[in-house]
Structure 1
Amino acid sequence: MTNVLKHTTVSNDLANQLMDAATSRAHELGDRFSIAIVDVSGVLKNFRRLDACPLVGVDVAQDKAYTAVLKGIPTHEWYEGIKDNPSHLYGVPAAISRVTIFGGGYPIIVDGELVGGMGASGGSYLEDMDVVKSALDAVIG
């Protein structure tokens, strides 16, 4: 049928592999992270809250994963795209529900195709970025 769009999304198997790799890195950094994976539509696919993670990390990790899949760019790159336009800088995070413009969220890209997003929260933004990037590098390359 020509009126139907098809898309590829992250599988349970890939989400589990990414989650295990991220959890391994999080253990090295101190067990205070929440880690979220969303599918290509931004719907939660996999989530883990480590024992020492603060409550705020639960929603923030999910929002970072969601933000990464919106445009297929890491969350920290959103700031560069909006910082010089005050209406975007203040309007985008306020107007677009769940948008997060600090580091820790990355798109999941397989064979050049966006298939989901992944976010971590609980450490500094650099540690959050490290948890996710380490998992993506280990599993996808």
Structure 2
Amino acid sequence: MQTKSVLGLTEIDAIMAAARAEALKHGWAVAIALVDDGGHALALVRLDGASPASAAIAMEKARTSALGRRESKAYEDMINGGRTAFLSAPLAGTLEGGVPVVVDGQVIGAMGVSGVKSEQDAQVAKAGIQSITG
């Protein structure tokens, strides 16, 4: 039988707080979503000034990253590189800003951020995740 880590309330709170702090430090109005390894919502916050659509996009970026076991940017790069057939895949968040939470080599969740430039979204997500992974 295999075992793996899971995100508990302590980790969820730490990740969300660190991501929120990164966004606020830069004055970025974003939505921040955290999901488990199956893409199910664990936390969502839409900072003041973030568009309502950013919450849905952040959740889909997180879900895409969790289910794909990679950063959502990989799918964006694939599509931009000409593999347009991938647009038919059942993933809606194929834009940069979804980052997996990896512990002991296993994906245990993912964070998605939306609201600013894609690389800034990813920066916020990575800052959140680093709070528990170092």
TM-score (norm 1): 0.85
* 1:104 paired residue number: 97
1:119 aligns with 2:122: no
Percent identity (aligned): 26
Decide which of 71, 83, 86 is 2:84's aligned counterpart. Answer: 86
- Structure possessing the higher radius of gyration over alpha carbons: 1
How far the C-alpha of 1:31 sits from its partner, in A, is 4.1
TM-score (norm 2): 0.89
Contact 2:19 2:127 in 1 (8 A): yes
Alignment coverage as a number of residue pairs: 133
How far the C-alpha of 1:87 sits from its partner, in A, is 1.9
1:37 aligns with 2:34: yes
* 1:63 paired residue number: 60
Cα RMSD, aligned residues only? 1.9
Cα distance between partner residues in 2 of 1:86 and 1:48: 32
* 2:71 paired residue number: 74
Runs of 4+ in 1 over 4 A off after TM superposition: 5-8
1:47 aligns with 2:36: no
Contact 1:31 1:51 in 2 (8 A): no
Decide which of 123, 127, 132 is 1:130's aligned counterpart. Answer: 123
How far the C-alpha of 1:48 sits from its partner, in A, is 1.0
Cα distance between partner residues in 2 of 1:74 and 1:130: 12
For structure 2, list consecutive stretches of 5 or more residues without a partner in the other structure. none
SS in 2 for 1:102: coil
1:25 aligns with 2:22: yes
How far the C-alpha of 1:108 sits from its partner, in A, is 0.7
How far the C-alpha of 1:68 sits from its partner, in A, is 0.4
How far the C-alpha of 1:133 sits from its partner, in A, is 1.0
